[in-house]
Structure formats: C-alpha cells, structure tokens
C-alpha cells in the first residue's frame, strides 16, 4: 500500500445488469453497505446509460465514487455512439476505465488509450489504465508487452498529474475465467510496473500511481491476493454485481 493513499476497489459492471431498475437497486444496496466502511476508495462503474439511476440511488452519500467504463477524448461533436467527459462529469463521475482489454479487442489502440488518459487528466478525473498480456510465455515477452502498454499510455503525462493515474494489471487469461493470477505473479508484475513508471518519472513520483489487479477476484481470494500480491487494490468484474461478495472484497483490503 502506498503511504497516505488508500487502497482502491473498482467494480466494473461491464454490460450488466439487465435493467435500469436492477441498476438502481444495486446502487442503493452499495450505498447502504458501504456507508459503514472507511479507509478504502470504492468506485462503481455501471454502463453509461445507468449512471443517472445509480447517481440518484447513491444520492449525496458519497459512500462510493462513480466511474465510467469508457469516455471519448473530445469534448463534444460528431462522434456517433460516444460519451464525453463533460457529460460524465454531470453525473459526478470521477474515475474512467481506459483501454480495458474488452475494448482493445474492439480496436482501441495504445495511441487512443493515451489520448483518452490525457483528456481524463485534463478534465480533473482519474484514469484507470488497463494493461495485460494475452498469455504468459517462458521467454518473458509478456513483460515487454506490459512495459510497452504502460509507456505508451503515459506519453506526455506530466509527473505532477500522476496521482490521477491508476494502472490496472488485468491478464487476459484471468478475466472471467475463474483462474486468477497467483499472488507471486501479481507481486512480480506490480513491482515491474512500478519500475517502468520509476524509470520514466523517478521513484518518488511513481509512488503516486496505484497499481491494482483485476481478473477473477472474488470474496474468497481477495484477502490473499491483497496481502501477498502487495497490490494497491482491485478491478473487479463479475463479483462486483453481487453486493455481499463485493463488500467482502472491499473489507479484505483494510489491513495488510
């Protein structure tokens, strides 16, 4: 854990749940359960179309922050199907997931990820940049893949803005498979990502970037992954739709 920076738990609902009323119900449930928990930054990232209902369900409690799963880098204009940062900020969105592998699979490039991160920082929000390898090879090529993703995302990002950057290590083979990376894998990658950032900005500035893990995080494995993986938090998919389990994950990062 970084000195003075609380751990971060992000619930990425992806394209769920199936209706606006279910999203409001989940939003209200999280408000109730999270109001008693402190010392952890919690973010709920519903589909953009549900932001209004979750925003309303959360009301003024601020027991969790709102996140978006994507944002366009332009302020407004001819960008069919896109949502801008000013629009998201109207619903009090303060975290944006950028370059999730499910979006990269649809053609989102490292250049676009960087453009989005720069826009997110300019808007005063925090960008959660997702990186991850498709598979692990014995030659260690996955390390150079991760290094390239991190370096390309950070082009032109000033060191004074690094507190608005989170890197989420999400190996593709661990997403939605029930096969999480081991604590040792996670620890190795966390140190590696921090080293890459340190090489660019220096150690002190690199300490401002939270490095979190995502990929089959559950109520059962969260504690071990947090304690032995030494990460600064989690990006949670499937389990973030189950209040009981999500709260268990949030609670698991209160102590190490």
Which of these is catalytic: 102, 170, 194, 245? Answer: 170
**Min. distance of Cβ 102 from ligand 13P in angstroms?**
7
Handedness of CA 176, 254, 44, 73 (dihedral sign): negative
Least Å from the CB of residue 32 to ligand 13P:
23
Q: Give the shortest CB-209-to-ligand 13P separation in angstroms.
A: 18
Question: How buried is residue 66: exposed, middle or buried, by Cβ count under 10 Å (0-12/13-18/19+)?
Answer: buried
Nearest approach, Cβ of 14 to ligand 13P (angstroms)? 7
For ligand 13P, the closer CB: 150 or 217: 217
Looking at beta carbons, which residue is closest to ligand 13P? Answer: 237
Residue 100 or 207: the one with the smaller Cβ distance to ligand 13P is 100
Question: By C-beta, is 66 or 217 nearer to ligand 13P?
Answer: 217
SS3 at position 44: strand
Strand residues in the chain grouped as ranges (E): 8-12, 41-45, 65-68, 93-98, 126-131, 165-169, 210-214, 233-236
Please, which residues have CB within 8 angstroms of residue 156's CB and are 6 or more apart in sequence?
A: 114, 118
8 Å CB contact between 32 and 61: no
Which of 9, 31, 3 shows the shortest CA–CA distance to 166?
9
147 flagged as catalytic:
no
The contact set with ligand 13P (CB under 6 A) reads: 12, 100, 170, 175-176, 214-217, 235-239
Query: Which one of the listed residues 72, 100, 108, 245 is annotated catalytic?
Result: 100
102 catalytic? Reply is no
CB contact at 8 A, 188 and 231? no
**Which residues participate in catalysis according to the annotation?**
100, 170
């Amino acid at each position: 854990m970084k000195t003075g920076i609380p751990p971060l738990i992000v619930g990425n609902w992806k394209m769920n749940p199936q209706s606006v009323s279910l999203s409001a119900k989940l939003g209200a449930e999280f408000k109730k359960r999270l109001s008693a928990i402190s010392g952890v930054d919690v973010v709920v990232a519903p589909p953009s179309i549900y932001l209004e209902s979750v925003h309303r369900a959360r009301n003024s409690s601020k027991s969790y922050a709102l996140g978006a799963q994507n944002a366009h880098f332009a302020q407004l204009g001819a960008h069919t199907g896109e949502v801008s940062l000013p629009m998201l900020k109207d619903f009090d969105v303060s975290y944006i997931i950028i370059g999730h592998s499910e979006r990269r699979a649809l053609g989102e490039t490292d250049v676009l990820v960087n453009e989005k991160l720069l826009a997110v920082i300019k808007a005063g929000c925090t960008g959660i940049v997702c990186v991850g390898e498709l598979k692990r090879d014995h030659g260690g090529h996955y390390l150079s893949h991760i290094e390239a993703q991190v370096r390309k995302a950070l082009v032109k990002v000033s060191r004074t803005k690094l507190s608005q950057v989170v890197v989420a290590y999400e190996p593709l083979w661990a997403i939605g498979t029930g096969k999480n990376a081991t604590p040792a894998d996670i620890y190795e990658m966390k140190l590696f990502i921090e080293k890459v950032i340190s090489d660019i900005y220096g150690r002190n500035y690199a300490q401002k970037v939270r490095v979190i893990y995502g990929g089959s995080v559950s109520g059962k494995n969260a504690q071990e992954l947090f304690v032995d993986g030494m990460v600064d938090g989690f990006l949670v998919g499937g389990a973030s739709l189950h209040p009981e389990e999500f709260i268990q994950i949030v609670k698991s990062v209160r102590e190490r």
